[in-house]
Structure 1
Amino acid sequence: MPLNQEDFLIKCNNLTYYFENSIALNNISFSVKKGERLVLLGANGSGKTTLLRILAALYFPHKGELIYKGNIINRKTSKDVLKQLRTEIGILFQNPDTMIFNPTVYDEIAFGLQERDYKNIKDKVYEVAKLCQIEHLLDRSPLKLSGGEKQKVALASILAPNPEVLLLDEPTANLDPGSTGWLIDLLYELDITLIISTHNLSIAPEFASRALVLDTSHNLIFDGSLKELKNEYEILKKANLVHKHKYRNDFHWHDWY
């Protein structure tokens, strides 16, 4: 039966990925419609980053299938299809230092546009810099900025080519509360398919209404609404997202920004 591209933008069928003898993802299946917004929840080491990198075709699954716009994505996929995916899907890593390498902020934002032969690069750089509130940094070296400023520069460089899908790996890790609020407002303004990984349960509803939860054994144990998830204490406990203190009898979570 032929794949119907209208049914989903991204589909994962039984994805498994491992590092040497260690499982990073175990038999993961879900689908994402165009324009949908999801949060990917799980403790550190649960496989969130690995899954995002597979979705961006930076890693290929050892078992199972990733399907993007009806095309199966693996090591045998044509270069043209992979180029299309990597143009249309932007990924922001948790550590912006792994993404920044140009001499100025302007060059950092312009780099992806130049690679795609974009017209009116200067106008686009200034437009995105203003959107990300870093226009005053354009002549600065990105390597000498604060962690939050670097995160904004990396995000601007991803947004500049107008991706259809945005993958964000713990995007608030380097942001103070004010900048976190700014990011939430910015993402609401974007007409884009969005998948955000985090272990912060309190901020997750600000980004999306649907959640995927990975447990510490790298299984997908929940796919549904965040509203329902907050009452699923056994699932949250299995994912190491809630806990009990000796002096309290109720499950609760701590939030880290």
Structure 2
Amino acid sequence: MFLSVIIPTYNRYDLLRKCLDNLEPDFQTIDAKSYEIIVSDDSKINEETEKLKKEYPFVSFVAGPQKGPASNRNNGAKYAKGDWLVFIDDDCLPDQDLLLSYFKEINKGIYQGIEGYINADRLQERFDEISPLNLTGGCFWSCNIAVDKEVFTKLNGFDEGFPFAALEDTDFYERLKTVANTTFLASAKVIHPWRKVTNWVSYKKWVGSHQYAIKKANIPKNLKYRIKRLNLFIGLVFKHGKELIKYRFKGFYYYLEVLYYNFLMIFC
């Protein structure tokens, strides 16, 4: 059995280096002959790209399609030689037993989809910090998952219709559960640092992906839908309000951003 580790990236070379350092054969406890690493790079080829190729000769670098993260992951999968695909994001720090944990679980022959453990590097300090934590499963965030390649191909991979890095993994998980057995593997660990949201573009992108998901599911935007969105909005006001107070109003503008876009979604 052979693993193909796929890392989509876009202009985050320093973060990518840290990720690759933790995937080096000398760091990972799995036999080096049991896996390959494919970096699908959506950046334009430059000096930094060439440096990386020399620094990490054990990595295969391929040009990305420059059509978004879903497309970039699918692109990496096209080059995979492995029986299983392990998706890791470029800003994650894999544990040294990550690949060995996946390898052992896969060899049991029970599951076709596995989600790994995702924790942050510290406690959250601000409301406007985000990290896709997955401590108990049920998320299937694409920054740490393993999927049987045959099943992945059958599902046509991630839906490239999602315009941004949001909900494409949730959509894939829903489709995967209809054809495969899935599980959560706590021993397959990565660290995902907190990232501070610096502008309003981030949540706006999430809304764009959310709208696509609604359209894909053929959810009618009738009165019932709008009442549901209104109740959700009211719930967020209080839920996030408590969190904002907890963090002493650090990230107040992001709080306003979240409420603003969720309010618009009542009518859009």
TM-score by length of 1: 0.29
Greater relative CO, 1 or 2 (CA 8 Å, sep 6+): 1
Q: Which of the two has greater strand per residue?
A: 1
TM-score by length of structure 2 reads: 0.29
